[in-house]
Structure 1
Amino acid sequence: MKFNTKAIHGNQHHEEVTGAVMPPVFLTSTYAQKSPGVPVGEYEYSRAANPTRTALENALASIENGSRGLAFSSGLAATDCLLRGLKAGDEVIAMDDLYGGTYRMFTRIYKESGIVFHFVDFNDTDAFSKLLSDKTKLIWAETPTNPLMKLCDIKVIAELVKGRGIIFAVDNTFATPYLQRPLDLGADVVMHSATKYLSGHSDVIAGALVIKDAALGEQLHFQQFATGATLGPHDSYLVLRGIKTLHLRMQRHGENGEKVAEFLENHPKVKQVFYPGLKSHPFHGLAKTQMEGFGGMVSFTFKSGDKAEAVKFLENLKVFTLAESLGGVESLANHPATMTHASIPEDKRKAGGISDDLVRLSVGVEDIEDLLADIEQALK
């Protein structure tokens, strides 16, 4: 199947008893057994598996071309599950531009774990290679990154770690499998905050892992089952419903994102626009070869460099909503320094390029004329 068909039908089956086209929401915690330890069907307890969640997990595996999909209570829960397989003395190499929640987990929640985290520019292959050792057990990449839209070459990183017993994981939240499929490029695991584009309607908190290797998928399922960060059946239904329109939404997100980025780049008050679809973006060439489009996430700074101007812009938006999160059908605006990335210390934030005048836009699927008019009036 091609992607658009796969988003609707991939690994999906009509419900066996009634023939329902969409899987029912199985609101049950447990399942009857014929004899002790002999369930009536394949399910025993919903922390281990639930039919609605299974339908979602099958769809996740299909759209990312993986062998196993796992659905979690949040994107951070999915990330945490992957880290549960590490032990004291193991080392993680992560990109130097990460979602603030991921950075917070690595540096604070696992601070006393004995796991060592290195942060490096993945495009500096010499610096990256020097960090690789027998202790390296996990590579963590975001591409494009949140909020500076940096990219890394997934194929290059995969080749550098090949055959070393290292898990290479990619946060594919911004691109989605509509634009980029990391497992096909050499990654071992894909992570999603399914809250964002996969669900697409700002009405659920969810996360996902998709794993290439079946044995690793089974290990991660055990870690999820044993620690309990599973997604409930109703939320599973909502994400699955969202996936069925992912291709339609991402097409419009990308069309609108490109036009917003071009508009901002030509505006006299704007200093720099971060969007891989622009020729001025340092990773534009890589984006054209690694991705199948550029998406709907756009960040920018002001020529004044003034935080107050950024705040005033955000306060005066009318169609865009000032809010956390991204990837919904509605357009959202965000101030990373005080919102999504506030957990990163100020000195590290600024050293990484997240200035106080940086604004991040999640461009929705509204009429582009209304979005551009809103940006224009807010800039005025």
Structure 2
Amino acid sequence: MRGERKYLIVLLLAFVLYVIIQIFNPKPINWTISLAHEDKNPFGAFILDQVIADVFPTGKVDRSYITMYEQQDTLRNNQLILTTGYYPDEQDLDVMLEHVYSGGNVLISAHVFSPLLEDTLNFTVADYIFDADFMKNLENSDSSYIHFVNPALPVAGDFSYQRNNAYRRFSEIDTASMYVVATNDLGQPVTVRVPHGNGNLYLNTTPLAFSNLYLLYKENREFAAATLSMLPDRPLHWAEYYMQGRRESATPLRYILKEPALAWGYYILLAALIIYMVVESKRKQRAIPVIKPLRNSSVDFVNTISSLYYKRKNHRSIADKRISYFLDQLRTKYYLPQNLEGKPLYEKIASKSGHSTEEVETLMTAIMDVKMKREISEQELKNINRYIEEFKL
């Protein structure tokens, strides 16, 4: 026991030491694109979440992790979607377009839009960063600039972004129904307005412009603010489902597994417990006695009763019970009505059992012959039993 205690103490100290080292180690920067309102990493949207209420001073800002289709009866006037890829299904897209048509305003910022939306509004989105022939003609291939085309907007000038974070643009648009709001340094549209019914749909191809990294860079916050200000000053709903999916409820274990140091400590602790249990079980496990199951006496009882009937040569009584049990099985399995008999009954049984009508009629005739006799022989009992056995239910 003393040796085991030393082993556990050493293991526990090693576990605590590892967790402390990991907690106080500087965490590496997480460059994952999340655009989540609580994420403080470069490509999170924590800063946007803190300042977005200033853009809509008289309107309430809230968020959810469900589709527009699921909240179609309670949709707010303004809808904001930030995601790397916007892929609604047909019903969800219909609800969104109907909301805009009835006077709502929706801003969708995404690198990629679903082919369903592109076909519906007649536009395409593409990138140019992988086109070597195109890139070599750029004087500055590292930086891209975005500016608004409407000089009446309160912001002016170029907003700078790293080119590999702002390389998506509208390659084709329907100029009859779409209006360019902002372009990149190549003169290609990156934000368009699509009037639809009584509302407007705004599409943008640079979602990272709303991330923490670029809201803190120079004056880029003005681009995000001006883009959001195209929506009227009304309640805004941030639909995070299209980037985050359905958020599950937070639990202490979920938090532990999300933090690398705590997660590794948790796994080490589990592994140690498993090893300890395996070692202890081999040392202390007792032999498990074999317990014979209780004997089923029902079969013996049935054999005894059947032998009694058979020895007394009460063949008619045995046949009646055999027939009654068979007919009850037949009606129960095939749901046969009680008032059905004769030819209609035979056809009903044949259609449900897979037997021919002639087979059913032969069986029923043999049963009626037995029922009409006061006494039957042993051979007749065997015959009717054979008929019933061969008629597979």
TM-score interval for Structure 1 and Structure 2 normalised by the shorter chain: under 0.3
Compute the TM-score of the two structures, normalised by the length of structure 1. Answer: 0.22
If the length of structure 2 is used for normalisation, what is the TM-score? 0.22
Structure number with the higher helix fraction is 2
Q: Over alpha carbons, which structure has the higher Rg?
A: 2
